[in-house]
């Protein structure tokens, strides 16, 4: 198992440019598989469920940067607030408030990405431009003192239509540019566009991704 994982890891490292960060999506995968990649130098791991994230954090090395990439319920923020490195899935004002308040309680800043709805499937989460514009025009991002806004995240449609997926990536890049210009022009941390998964990370990078979230191409299918 570990040989294949390491081969996959090398292949992906070769395929992505230096400015693109790899989030190794380890959901449902055992501790041993994560340890293999950690030993090979990978430090950012992504999980989509809070309980699994908390359990793995307790068992694995302290220098891992844990990213929460899946939908987050407000009542669970407190469990990850002490240690989570970045939350990719901020999709409502109330969630943002809760993360800010839990970060403050833990005397730290939490890095977040604003998730945008770019797909056609109703099952996916995220803001649209009007919502975020309305929120920040009333409450400037600086109000959230324990939050470090690092950029945006999006999930493209689950589709074989390459054109459609490409257009969704383009849309997220546009939103990022617009947000940066309007609300984060003086920010030194608003830099990341988290888009692209196993099936489409090459295209996502072409369209401006700075952070890809790769699970099955690394660890094998779930
Ligand atoms: C599972 C997951 C991924 C990784 O998907 P793969 O196709 O296995 O690479 C990326 N992003 C999110 C939000 C996920 O839940």
- Domain at 12, CATH number: 3.20.20.10
Residue 45's pLDDT is what?
98
Ligand 1 centroid to 62 CA: how many Å?
A: 23
Q: Whose CA is nearest to atom 10 of ligand 1?
A: 213
Residue 88's pLDDT is what?
98
Ligand 1 centroid to 217 CA: how many Å?
A: 10
SS (H, E, C) the chain: CHHHHHHHHHHHHHHCCCCCEEEEECCCCCHHHHHHHHHCCCCEEEECCHHHHHHHHHHCCCCCEEEECCCCCHHHHHHHCCCCCEEEEECCHHHHHHHHHHHHHCCCCEEEEEEECCCCCCCCCCECHHHHHHHHHHCCHHHCCCEEEEEEEECCCCCCCHHHHHHHHHHHHHHHHHHHHHHCCCCCCCCEEECCCCCCHHHHHHCCCCEEEECHHHHCCC
Ligand 1 centroid to 88 CA: how many Å?
A: 12
Residue 120's pLDDT is what?
85
Low-confidence ranges of the chain (pLDDT < 50): none
Residue 96's pLDDT is what?
98
- Taking CA 182 as the corner, what is the angle to CA 118 and CA 71, rounded to the nearest 5 degrees? 35
Pocket test residue of 5, 24, 48, 118 for ligand 1, highest count of atoms within 8 A of CB: 48
Residue 111's pLDDT is what?
98
| Ligand 1, pocket residues at CB < 6 Å | 25, 27, 48, 69-70, 155, 197-199, 213-217
Pocket test residue of 46, 49, 220 for ligand 1, highest count of atoms within 8 A of CB: 46
Residue 124's pLDDT is what?
73
Number of domains in the chain: 1
pTM higher than 0.85: yes
Residue 215's pLDDT is what?
98
CA distances to 26, 42, 85 from 63, in Å? 16, 10, 10
Residue 66's pLDDT is what?
98
- What residues does 198 pair with on adjacent strands? none
- Long-range contacts of the stretch 180-185 (C-beta < 8 A, 24+): 182/133, 182/136, 183/136, 183/140, 183/141, 184/141, 184/149
Residue 121's pLDDT is what?
79
Q: What percent of the chain has pLDDT over 70?
A: 99
Ligand 1 centroid to 196 CA: how many Å?
A: 9
Residue 195: CA count within 13 A, CB half-sphere: 34
Residue 53's pLDDT is what?
98
Ligand 1 centroid to 75 CA: how many Å?
A: 23
Residue 132's pLDDT is what?
97
> Which residues form the domain of 37?
2-219
């Amino acid at each position: 198992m570990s040989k294949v994982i390491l081969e996959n890891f090398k292949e992906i490292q070769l395929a992505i440019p230096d400015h693109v960060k790899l989030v190794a999506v380890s959901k449902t995968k055992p501790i041993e598989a994560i340890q293999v990649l950690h030993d090979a130098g990978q430090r950012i791991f992504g999980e989509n469920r809070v309980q699994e994230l908390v359990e793995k954090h307790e068992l694995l090395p302290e220098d891992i940067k844990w990213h929460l990439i899946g939908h987050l319920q407000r009542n669970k923020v407190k469990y990850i607030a002490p240690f989570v490195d970045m939350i990719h899935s901020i999709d409502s004002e109330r969630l943002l408030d809760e993360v800010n308040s839990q970060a403050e309680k833990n005397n730290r800043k939490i890095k977040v990405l604003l998730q945008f709805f770019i797909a056609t499937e109703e099952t996916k989460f995220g803001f649209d431009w009007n919502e975020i514009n309305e929120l920040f025009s009333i409450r400037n991002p600086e109000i959230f003192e324990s939050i470090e806004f690092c950029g945006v995240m999006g999930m493209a449609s689950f589709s074989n239509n390459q054109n459609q997926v490409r257009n969704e990536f383009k849309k997220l890049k546009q939103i990022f540019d617009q947000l940066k210009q309007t609300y984060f022009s003086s920010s030194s941390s608003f830099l990341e566009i988290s888009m692209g998964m196993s099936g489409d990370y090459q295209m996502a990078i072409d369209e401006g991704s700075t952070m890809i979230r790769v699970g099955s191409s690394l660890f094998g299918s779930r």
